[in-house]
Amino acid sequence: AAAGSHGAGRYNFEELTWGNDETHHIAEGYDADILLRWGDPITADAPEFDVMNQTAEAQLKQFGYNNDYVGFTPLNAEGTRGLLCVNHEYTNEEVMFPGLGRQDKAGFEGMTKELIDIEMAAHGGTVVEIAKGADGKWAVVRDGKMNRRITPLNTEMTIDGPAAGHDRMKTNADPSGISVIGTLNNCAGGMTPWGTYLMAEENFHGYFWTDVVDGDGKPDISDQPEAKNMKRYGVPGRWYAWGKFYDRFNIDKEPNEPNRFGWVVEVDPLNPGAKPVKHTALGRFRHEGAETTVSSSGKLVVYMGDDNRFDYQYKYVSSGVVSDDAAANSKLLSDGTLYVARFDEDGSIEWLPLVHGTGPLTAENGFASQADVLIDTRLAADALGATPMDRPEDAQPRGDGTAYIMLTNNSKRTEDQVNAANPRAKSNFGHIIEVKEEGGDHAATRGTWSILVQCGDPELTEVGAQWNPETSANGWFGSPDNCAFDADGRLWVSTDQGSKWGKTGKSDGLYGVETEGDLRGTSKLFFRCPVGGELCGPYFTDNGETLFLAVQHPGTDGTKALKGFERASTFEDPATRWPDFDPKMPPRPSVVVVTKKGGGKIAV
Ligand code: FEO
Ligand code: CA
Ligand code: CA
Ligand code: CA
């Protein structure tokens, strides 16, 4: 294909100009339409959104907050009808609720049980039918029979795999250790080859509370039976006040409840009555995503990052092979081997199995069973000598035995902690690693790795960025987070600069990144967010004609950092009112649907 603004690249579109302002922007020749906003009714009987009179009951039938992962499973052969599966990672109470303002996280004085119930109902996930009309535009089908919300407020889930029913998984409410209410902080995710939806539980630690504090008012967990585990996982984070009203989120009352979060959850979108399943075989950590592929030997392989500074990259390989039997396929997530990555200095990668009884994973070292290895995945990976990474976010496998790993940033890495796979100290802008599994087999336990790009401004020598020189001033980015392949196997990367985005002056956005040939490492800007928003998704339909994007927390992130947006956003005074621009409406996280004007494949 001919190139847009430079060279003979594989991404045929006219590159967008970088910047930031109150709205979103898409490359010329494309539409970027709002499909679903926080509060939009998603069932036939749901009330219309009334921002001044929110209730948990209404929110349970409306689109949730802070859309992150987006997946799609078609309901017809043409792919013009299907189920959109969307994660709702977290909530920003100061822009959701009128008159609340910023909360002091030590006390959350303004947070009533009523507001907390709304927050809980705004977390989790949404499964909603959408259809493409004769005008080529996608719209929600409100009376879709599979439409449902999944929340930490009231969705019962089953725990399966080696840790199910273990004593450390039992609570007062669930003496069996196999049943849990809800899922938390669902960040990225994945769709399985059999059409189920995987929700990754990321920053679950933030939802747990304690009243036991030290002299500085910081949580004191020294008397906790799970102290070692809690310390390694950052429990309790006290980011939310749920534990003040719900015993299960208070570790003083339920020390095992945190062990029931930090897993990968499987949802069958076609069976609204089916309980979601937490698959403990895939390990417990701050799961960023769970992207699947089928290996050359037919096994299911899931790539998963643990998004924390100095934490690890994992993958899971099923024991059995993927078949046409959906019920049998779901068992593939219950029986298999979890591996953690060691990136060696010579460019080889070794996948180390987290299997009880092998190497240091024995009772003498505190791992009495496979359940212990999985509940304490991070401690087990520490013992195996995995490579501490610069915050592994999304990782995307491609069918040819290649995978791309987004390392978003790590400002805490010191010069003496630098290694070949994490080559910069104080890395504010992150990098992308390409893994090639041995023999092109995703189930292989070794392979090679290389750095695709080192992110940041290539004009600033001190940043140490490495891009293909064809990358323009618009095309470079910082802090890669989510990624996806389109129908033609091209890589797309979205960014999350967090509160640091003022350092680049660029809004978060979506970029096409060349992975092959002379242009390898060239990046091109396709879409950018409104100010203070982060870009999640992205997800391409199989025909490559529709791209779903999730704009998360518009108007909030880092809005103090940039001239013209010096204030912290609140409900009454947000940095933007995207996408409604209604003076009575706060900014709303929304899913955007991208199509080519006149139809056809995107960027071809
Ligand atoms: Fe929820 Fe790691 O981003
Ligand atoms: Ca993410
Ligand atoms: Ca992805
Ligand atoms: Ca993020």
Q: What value does the mean pLDDT take over residues 182-207?
A: 97
452-467 tens-digit pLDDT: 999 999 999 999 999 9
Joined together, the tokens standing for residue 81 give: 């009808």
CB of 94 within 8 A of CB of 101? Answer: yes
Q: What is the mean pLDDT of the chain?
A: 95
Regarding the beta carbon of 119 and ligand 1, being less than 6 Å apart is answered no
Q: What value does the mean pLDDT take over residues 347-375?
A: 98
Q: Which residue has the tokens 């529709």?
A: 546
Q: Give the integer Cα–Cα distance in Å for 267 and 126.
A: 10
Joined together, the tokens standing for residue 128 give: 């909603």
Joined together, the tokens standing for residue 15 give: 């590159």
DSSP string, 449-479: EEEEEE-S-TT-GGG--B--TT--TTT--S-
Q: Give the integer Cα–Cα distance in Å for 200 and 552.
A: 17
Give 536's strand partners: 550
Residue 359 burial by CB count (10 A; 0-12/13-18/19+): exposed, middle or buried? middle
Nearest ligand, CA 537 = 3
CB of 289 within 8 A of CB of 395? Answer: yes
Give the number of the atom of ligand 1 that is nearest the alpha carbon of residue 307. 2
CB of 139 within 8 A of CB of 97? Answer: no
Regarding the beta carbon of 187 and ligand 1, being less than 6 Å apart is answered yes
| Residue 107, C-beta contacts closer than 8 angstroms, at least 6 positions apart | none
Regarding the beta carbon of 393 and ligand 1, being less than 6 Å apart is answered yes
Distance in Å, CA 431 to ligand 2 centroid: 14
Give the number of the atom of ligand 1 that is nearest the alpha carbon of residue 286. 2
What was the ipTM of the complex prediction?
Answer: 0.95
Query: Of the candidates 241, 218, 243, which has an alpha carbon nearest to the alpha carbon of residue 231?
Result: 218
Distance in Å, CA 507 to ligand 1 centroid: 17
Distance in Å, CA 395 to ligand 3 centroid: 6
Distance in Å, CA 151 to ligand 1 centroid: 18
Distance in Å, CA 129 to ligand 4 centroid: 25
Q: What is the pLDDT of residue 84?
A: 98
Give the number of the atom of ligand 1 that is nearest the alpha carbon of residue 391. 2
Distance in Å, CA 91 to ligand 1 centroid: 13
Q: Tell me the residue type at 316.
A: Y
DSSP code, position 373: H
Regarding the beta carbon of 201 and ligand 1, being less than 6 Å apart is answered no
Q: What is the pLDDT of residue 76?
A: 97
Q: Could you give the percent of the chain with pLDDT greater than 70?
A: 96
Helix (H, G, I), strand (E, B) or coil at 258: helix
272-330 tens-digit pLDDT: 999 999 999 999 999 999 999 999 999 999 999 999 999 999 999 999 999 999 889 98
Give the number of the atom of ligand 1 that is nearest the alpha carbon of residue 185. 1
Query: Of the candidates 450, 347, 443, which has an alpha carbon nearest to the alpha carbon of residue 405?
Result: 450
Task: Tell me the backbone φ, ψ of residue 249, rounded to 5 degrees.
Answer: -100, 10
332-342 tens-digit pLDDT: 999 999 999 99
Joined together, the tokens standing for residue 278 give: 């937490």
Distance in Å, CA 305 to ligand 2 centroid: 10
**Kind plus residue range of the DSSP H or E element containing 532:** none
Regarding the beta carbon of 534 and ligand 1, being less than 6 Å apart is answered no
Nearest ligand, CA 306 = 1
Q: Using the Cα atoms of residue 161, residue 165, residue 170 and residue 172 in order, give the sign of their dihedral.
A: positive
Regarding the beta carbon of 486 and ligand 1, being less than 6 Å apart is answered no
Distance in Å, CA 190 to ligand 3 centroid: 7
- Tell me the CA distances in angstroms from 354 to 102, 379, 390, one per residue in order: 42, 10, 21
Confidence of residue 500 (pLDDT cuts 50, 70, 90): low
CA trace torsion 353, 305, 309, 223 (10° rounding)? -70
| Residue 424, C-beta contacts closer than 8 angstroms, at least 6 positions apart | 413, 418, 431, 454, 464
Task: Tell me the backbone φ, ψ of residue 167, rounded to 5 degrees.
Answer: -50, -35
DSSP string, 194-237: TS-EEEEE--GGGG-B-S-B-TTS-B--TT-TTHHHHHHHT---
Regarding the beta carbon of 288 and ligand 1, being less than 6 Å apart is answered yes
- Tell me the CA distances in angstroms from 100 to 54, 92, 119, 133, 420, one per residue in order: 13, 11, 13, 40, 47
Q: What value does the mean pLDDT take over residues 115-137?
A: 97
Q: What is the pLDDT of residue 556?
A: 86
388-409 tens-digit pLDDT: 999 999 999 999 999 999 999 9
Q: Which residue has the tokens 């309980």?
A: 275
Nearest residue by C-alpha to atom 1 in ligand 1: 187
CB of 402 within 8 A of CB of 436? Answer: yes
Q: What is the pLDDT of residue 563?
A: 47
DSSP helix, strand, coil percent of the chain (3-state; round to 5): 15, 30, 55
Whether residue 565 is predicted with pLDDT greater than 60 in this model: the reply is no
Regarding the beta carbon of 89 and ligand 1, being less than 6 Å apart is answered yes
Q: What is the pLDDT of residue 567?
A: 57
Distance in Å, CA 369 to ligand 3 centroid: 32
| Residue 275, C-beta contacts closer than 8 angstroms, at least 6 positions apart | 156, 157, 158
Query: Of the candidates 398, 201, 390, which has an alpha carbon nearest to the alpha carbon of residue 291?
Result: 398
